[in-house]
A = this chain, B = another copy of it.
Amino acid sequence: MDIKKYMQEIGLAARAASRLMASADSNKKNAALQHIASALLREKTALLAANQLDLTAARANGLDEAMLDRLSISEKSIQGMAEGLRQIAKLDDPIGEMSDFKYRPSGIQIGKMRVPLGVIGIIYEARPNVTIDAAGLCIKSGNAAILRGGSEAMHCNQALAKLVKEGLAAAGLPSSAVQVIETSDRAAVGELITMKDYVDVIVPRGGKGLIERISNEARIPVIKHLDGNCHVYIDDEADFDKAMRILENSKTQRLGTCNTAESLLIARAVAASMLPKLADMLSQHGIEIRGCKETCALVKQAKTASEEDYYTEYLAAIISCKVVSGLDEAIVHINQHSSQHTEAIVTENYSKARRFLREVDSSSVMVNASTRFADGFEYGLGAEIGISTDKLHARGPVGLEGLTSLKYIVLGDGQVRA
């Protein structure tokens, strides 16, 4: 198989489909999503059978339980995929939105129109549900998508792709608006992330290793999310009950998510009174505390943190902790160590809250709320293709709007430039 030629054909078809998708009306796009949702439910037996082929091969290849878990689909998860598509269908169509029209002294009227990015390449691990999520978001946002899932999910992804194409065609949209790469050859990824003429943006979804590798090799812009080393800063004017509740939720609700707090900062003035109680709460949840000298003096069960700890996204039952002099040191520490994902301050002081919001350079900055809220659904985006820790284009949770751009529209009556 000539991978380069194969990928060029996919790219060419995607580019052609993207033109039609860009001007497709909302009803057709929503109809496609509904058709796909119905097809998923109708074909669940076939989908489960395809998934079994993947699971059998994966077990034979010795995949671990966590990977097998992500690879598996069930009747319930198929229902979840269908429900997700129906939710996307209910969202407002962002494409074609026009805004900010103003007359200029020359007499022209200038505004903006929201448009799709064009062709989105999505690279992800062996998780079949991402195939449907990504297809749904790209269809609604008027983009064409080229999907490359982990090769372990190949049978299931092909079965899903067939239903997506069927749904697009039933709605009168080009079936090549969503293409799933059919080869497990890794050279296909290399082509995908360098086909500048055919792909407008790459969205890698998966572990940090995958995302770093793709970012380094891509010659196309990447919307990426590397890691979430999120901080909770408990100010000397914090309400203790709020501090307790927010820290508990931020750290212990789920250990493996990117918006989980990985580091606790606390103002010296309240460290002696609050930190032992906070630490006991963490210990009751089985969280290991790695702290600075002052932390270790106040908290018996604390271990000594290295400088490296303060840079670490544990994704595990560990938290780093540091006693700081106050807001200034907290902001400097966060801007130095965080991954610019999400940080929260707990305080009742208006001016300090305001400074924290302005000066902390992260994609989400919060006052008196759990870092766990950093999420597309919680933010009201309706869906999420990822969380961007970059500053250009999309920052923070990326929903439909992150898959769009704005072009300038000029309306005139024959005006020319003087």
Residues of A within 8 A of B (CB): 19, 22-23, 96, 102, 104, 106, 108, 110, 113, 115, 117-118, 200-201, 216, 219, 221, 239, 241-242, 245-246, 248-250, 253, 335, 344, 355, 357-359, 361-370, 372-374, 378-380, 390-393, 395-397, 405-417
Q: Given that A23-B359, A104-B379 are contacting pairs, would A412 and B368 also be in contact in the complex, using a CB cutoff of 8 Å?
A: yes
User: Could you say which of B372, B396, B405 contacts A392, with CB atoms under 8 Å apart?
Assistant: B405
Query: Given the complex, which residues of B lie within 8 Å of A117, measured CB to CB?
Result: 391-392
Query: Given the complex, which residues of B lie within 8 Å of A407, measured CB to CB?
Result: 361-365, 395-396
Which chain B residue shows the least CB distance to A259? B417
A389 → B minimal CB distance (Å) = 11
Report whether A365 and B408 are in contact in the complex, using a CB–CB cutoff of 8 Å: yes
Chain A interface, >50% SS class: mixed
A82 → B minimal CB distance (Å) = 23
Report whether B248 and A365 are in contact in the complex, using a CB–CB cutoff of 8 Å: no
Query: Given the complex, which residues of B lie within 8 Å of A409, measured CB to CB?
Result: 357, 364-366
Report whether A22 and B118 are in contact in the complex, using a CB–CB cutoff of 8 Å: no
Residue from A242, A358, A372, A414 with most neighbouring chain B CB atoms (10 Å): A414
Which chain B residue shows the least CB distance to A242? B414
Q: A361-B407, A370-B412 are in contact. List 11 more A-B contacts (CB 8 A).
A: A19-B359, A22-B361, A110-B379, A118-B391, A221-B390, A364-B407, A365-B407, A365-B408, A368-B414, A370-B417, A392-B392
Report the separation of the CA atoms of residues A242 and B369 in the bound assembly, to the nearest whole angstrom: 58
A326 → B minimal CB distance (Å) = 16
Report whether A113 and B392 are in contact in the complex, using a CB–CB cutoff of 8 Å: no
A355 → B minimal CB distance (Å) = 8
Report whether B406 and A373 are in contact in the complex, using a CB–CB cutoff of 8 Å: no
Report whether B221 and A369 are in contact in the complex, using a CB–CB cutoff of 8 Å: no
A305 → B minimal CB distance (Å) = 23
Report whether A416 and B370 are in contact in the complex, using a CB–CB cutoff of 8 Å: yes
Report the separation of the CA atoms of residues A415 and B378 in the bound assembly, to the nearest whole angstrom: 12
Report whether B358 and A96 are in contact in the complex, using a CB–CB cutoff of 8 Å: yes
Which chain B residue shows the least CB distance to A220? B392
Report the separation of the CA atoms of residues A201 and B23 in the bound assembly, to the nearest whole angstrom: 32
Report whether B395 and A405 are in contact in the complex, using a CB–CB cutoff of 8 Å: yes
Q: Given that A391-B200, A410-B373 are contacting pairs, would A416 and B246 also be in contact in the complex, using a CB cutoff of 8 Å?
A: yes
Report whether B380 and A104 are in contact in the complex, using a CB–CB cutoff of 8 Å: yes
